[in-house]
Amino acid sequence: MAETLFEELKRYVGFSPEDTQALLALHSVTREHFARIAEVFYARILEHEGARKALEGGESQVGHLKGTLQVWMDQLLRGPWDEAYYELRCRIGRIHVRIALPQHYMFGAMNVLRQEFNAIIDSHYRERPAELNAVRRALGKILDLELAIMLHTYREDLLAQQARNERLSTFGQLVGSIGHELRNPLGVIETSLFILKGRLQPGDERTAKHLERIGEQVTIANRIVSDLLDMIRDRPLKSEPVRLADVWLSATMTLQRPPGVSLSERGLSELPLVQGDANQLRQVFVNLVENAIQAVGEAGSVELTARALPDAVELILEDSGPGVSDTIRRRLFEPLMTTKARGIGLGLPLVKRILERHGGSIAYVPRPQTSAGARFLLRLPLHS
């Protein structure tokens, strides 16, 4: 069987069974220091504006991240250092690409951990130099492996992202040309349809039905063209105080849903005003809720939960549908990516674009395995 990349990396740094035992011994010595090290780690990060900005949610998320770092340190020193460990570590590199974290911050952060662990090693193994050297070598190897894995995954995902950006650039040029060209024939069809309806004979229900169907399809075509053009152009954003509860009400009143599907919200009326474009934010709700209703089918629930953070508002939209598979998740916000039989994959990319233009974000957050359905996390900044 061919050697995996992780096996190759371990061989390259000389990771041995002796290193395994040394790290397990170090785990028992350092685990009581994990919380303190996490405090030092994030205090250092928050000193640097570039790294601080890359953290989703800013300082409001640091409490959660400190806990995550303690889990990371536990796995670092306890293992097992197998292929599952490798896959888990690969996700970190992908997150760095997604949040646009410059890699020099990662090297600096890893050095903070190296210094803290080495200080503990110096203190605990002071009277046992042979063990001290063995533990320090093992720590150096596992931290080097961590950097190698993160950099490899970062590079892979960054190259893939660049390829997607190139495709999107070509897509934008094509859409701009075709979209404008389609407006003319659609306008002619609408005009002719209006004239034909005016000449319709009383009682000719069959012809009236077909004319109605033509009108519906022209409306759908016009909406597709509008969505395509919205993806590539920067319509000026209005900047005015917006009450999200009003935007939600305006959006949901236009949506049709089966009688068996419930639609509800909690917390919107308690939110402070946000600064933005109400019409474009309305489109965010329309696209997300429309997708959720279609995913739920004839019976189920769609719920929006809102809360205010110190520097942002957070919205969580959940539905009781089948959720999103792992294979689709990473491409969920790419244009033309769709799982619908009649969809063209513009709804979620447009939502992402609108939110990012408002300084916000959207992410798909898997629900617990015990709960079915999709969950989207939205954030919009609060402007002072």
> CATH number for the domain including 123?
1.10.490.10
Amino acid making up residue 80: P
Of 66-70, 135-139, 291-295, the poorest mean pLDDT is in 66-70
> CA 103 to CA 114: how far, in whole Å?
17
User: 274 with 227, same domain?
Assistant: no
Amino acid making up residue 121: I
Q: Please say if the pLDDT value at position 376 is more than 70.
A: yes
Q: What is the mean pLDDT of the chain?
A: 81
User: 179 with 293, same domain?
Assistant: no
DSSP string, 200-224: PPTT-HHHHHHHHHHHHHHHHHHHH
User: 279 with 205, same domain?
Assistant: no
CA 179 to chain centre: 28
Residue scoring higher pLDDT (139 or 62): 139
Q: Which two tokens stand for residue 1?
A: 């069987």
Amino acid making up residue 292: A
State what percent of residues in the chain have pLDDT above 90: 27
User: 354 with 206, same domain?
Assistant: no
Q: What was the pLDDT predicted at 46?
A: 73
Q: Which two tokens stand for residue 369?
A: 């395995």
User: 169 with 250, same domain?
Assistant: no
Q: What was the pLDDT predicted at 136?
A: 93
Of 148-157, 205-214, 285-294, 351-360, the poorest mean pLDDT is in 148-157
Given 205, 233, 261, which residue is the final one in a domain? 233
Total domains in the fold of the chain: 2
Answer whether 213's CB lies under 8 Å from 252's CB: no
Q: Which stretches of the chain are assigned E, i.e. beta strand?
A: 240-242, 260-266, 274-276, 299-308, 312-319, 361-364, 375-381
Of 284-293, 325-334, 337-346, the poorest mean pLDDT is in 337-346
Q: For residue 231, what pLDDT band results from cuts at 50, 70 and 90? A: low
Closest CA to 359 of 377, 378, 346, 332: 378
Domain that holds residue 209: 1-233
Per-residue model confidence as pLDDT tens digits over 242-265: 999 999 999 998 888 888 999 999
> CA 382 to CA 57: how far, in whole Å?
11
Given 233, 252, 283, which residue is the final one in a domain? 233
User: 197 with 245, same domain?
Assistant: no
> CA 166 to CA 160: how far, in whole Å?
10
Q: Which two tokens stand for residue 46?
A: 């928050």
User: 77 with 212, same domain?
Assistant: yes
Residue matched to tokens 């597709």 = 224
Q: Which two tokens stand for residue 373?
A: 């359905």
Q: Three-state DSSP class for 254?
A: coil
> CA 157 to CA 101: how far, in whole Å?
13
Residue scoring higher pLDDT (63 or 112): 112
User: 106 with 177, same domain?
Assistant: yes
Compute and round to an integer the Cα radius of gyration of the chain.
27
User: 348 with 365, same domain?
Assistant: yes
Q: Please say if the pLDDT value at position 109 is more than 60.
A: yes
Per-residue model confidence as pLDDT tens digits over 122-166: 999 999 999 999 999 999 999 988 888 877 776 666 666 666 666
Q: What was the pLDDT predicted at 58?
A: 47
Q: For residue 279, what pLDDT band results from cuts at 50, 70 and 90? A: confident
Q: What was the pLDDT predicted at 341?
A: 46
User: 133 with 203, same domain?
Assistant: yes
Per-residue model confidence as pLDDT tens digits over 265-278: 999 999 999 998 88
Per-residue model confidence as pLDDT tens digits over 20-36: 999 999 999 999 999 99
Of 140-144, 155-159, 188-192, 326-330, the poorest mean pLDDT is in 155-159
Answer whether 308's CB lies under 8 Å from 270's CB: yes
User: 226 with 245, same domain?
Assistant: no
Given 216, 233, 250, which residue is the final one in a domain? 233
Answer whether 298's CB lies under 8 Å from 258's CB: yes
User: 262 with 188, same domain?
Assistant: no
Of 111-115, 255-259, 340-344, the poorest mean pLDDT is in 340-344
> CATH number for the domain including 311?
3.30.565.10
